[in-house]
């Protein structure tokens, strides 16, 4: 299985997306939208996507997957304006409609992408069939177990020089538990792209609406996550009491990306339910 990368324009916004047909658009299995961490490119989610796309009980004919790069990340150009979470939610939902007209979709969001996935769940609930949230939060403030990590993420000086940005981002990825294989897939975001994602998260919270989410939800948390502490996983469990909880004991923030085999079987059982 190989991904096809295409640039797709929706609502005046151009996004590069990794597309995996795998089974054809005629399959009854809902397509899977996968949303990435802050500043991340689609290639980092490929290993997990391939685990979830294979034929199995949840997808007898295989599963179509869409992984968009946010503006300024991966191969997507910077946007001409700043987009809040609601605007990004609309753009991504329109992207799925353009690629899979009239079909509802499953969504799995990792870290920052989990925040966007929650926005989609409350903003376009009729489009969504299942929601998986990995190492994420329902909004700021985020209290990291390692304050130095969050200080670098929110320090504007880190984004002035692209090379400094790339070096610091690679350091953050390494601290998150990434191995060499994952690091080779990383493409540095643009300063504007990363800043826009941070601004979209600043002041945003979807927590008051989460108890009203009616689609099946799975929550994946990592006990030793230094970037999004396990406490946020516990809090999300309180806000979405009907959610299925999947716990990983160790491996860091990027455990699900670096070793997708640790979480993919549980996610596939969730998607099959």
The pLDDT tens digits of the residues spanning 118-149 come to 999 999 999 999 999 999 999 865 555 566 66
CATH number, domain with residue 130: 3.40.50.1820
Q: Give the model's confidence band at 117: pLDDT under 50 very low, under 70 low, under 90 confident, else very high.
A: very high
- Please tell me the distance from the alpha carbon of residue 19 to that of residue 25, in angstroms, as a whole number: 12
Residue 141, pLDDT score: 54
What percent of the chain lies above the pLDDT cut of 90?
56
Length of the chain as a residue count: 273
**DSSP summary character for residue 205:** B
For residue range 68-87, list pLDDT tens digits in order. Answer: 999 999 999 999 888 899 99
Q: Give the model's confidence band at 191: pLDDT under 50 very low, under 70 low, under 90 confident, else very high.
A: confident
Under 8 Å between Cβ of 144 and 225:
no
Higher per-residue confidence, 165 vs 228? 228
Query: In this model, does residue 34 exceed pLDDT 70?
Result: yes
- Please tell me the distance from the alpha carbon of residue 231 to that of residue 222, in angstroms, as a whole number: 10
Q: Helix, strand, coil % (nearest 5) of the chain? A: 40, 20, 40
Query: In this model, does residue 164 exceed pLDDT 90?
Result: no
- Residue 39, domain extent: 4-272
For residue range 166-187, list pLDDT tens digits in order. Answer: 776 677 676 667 777 787 888 8
**DSSP summary character for residue 227:** S
Q: What's the domain count of the chain?
A: 1
pTM: predicted TM-score of the whole model, two decimal places: 0.92
Measure Cα distances from 95 to 67, 118, 212, 271 in Å. Answer: 10, 17, 25, 21
> Which three-class secondary structure state does DSSP give residue 134?
strand
Residue 23, pLDDT score: 56
How much is the mean pLDDT over the chain? 87
């Amino acid at each position: 299985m190989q991904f096809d990368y295409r640039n797709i324009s929706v609502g005046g916004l151009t996004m590069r997306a990794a597309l995996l047909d795998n089974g054809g658009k005629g399959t009854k299995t809902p397509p899977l939208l996968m949303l990435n961490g802050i500043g991340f490119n689609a290639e980092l989610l490929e290993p997990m996507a391939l685990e979830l796309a294979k034929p199995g009980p949840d997808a007898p004919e295989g599963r179509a997957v869409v992984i968009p790069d946010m503006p300024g990340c991966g191969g997507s150009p910077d946007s001409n304006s700043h987009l809040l979470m609601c605007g990004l939610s609309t753009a991504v939902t329109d992207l799925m409609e353009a690629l899979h007209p009239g079909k509802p979709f499953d969504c799995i969001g990792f870290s920052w992408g989990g925040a966007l996935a929650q926005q989609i769940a409350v903003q376009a609930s009729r489009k969504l069939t299942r929601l998986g949230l990995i190492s994420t939060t329902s909004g700021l403030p985020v209290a990291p177990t390692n304050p130095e990590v969050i200080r670098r993420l929110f320090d504007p000086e880190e984004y002035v020089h692209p090379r400094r940005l790339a070096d610091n981002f690679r350091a953050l990825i390494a601290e998150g538990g990434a191995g060499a294989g994952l690091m080779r897939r990383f493409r540095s975001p643009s300063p504007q792209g990363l800043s826009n994602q941070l601004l979209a998260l600043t002041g945003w919270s979807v927590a008051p609406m989460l108890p009203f989410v009616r689609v099946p939800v799975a929550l994946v948390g990592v006990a030793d996550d230094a970037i999004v502490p396990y406490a946020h996983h516990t809090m999300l469990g309180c806000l979405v009491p009907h959610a299925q909880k999947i716990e990983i004991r160790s491996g860091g923030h990027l455990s699900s990306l670096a070793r997708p085999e640790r979480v993919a079987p549980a996610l596939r059982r969730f998607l099959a339910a």
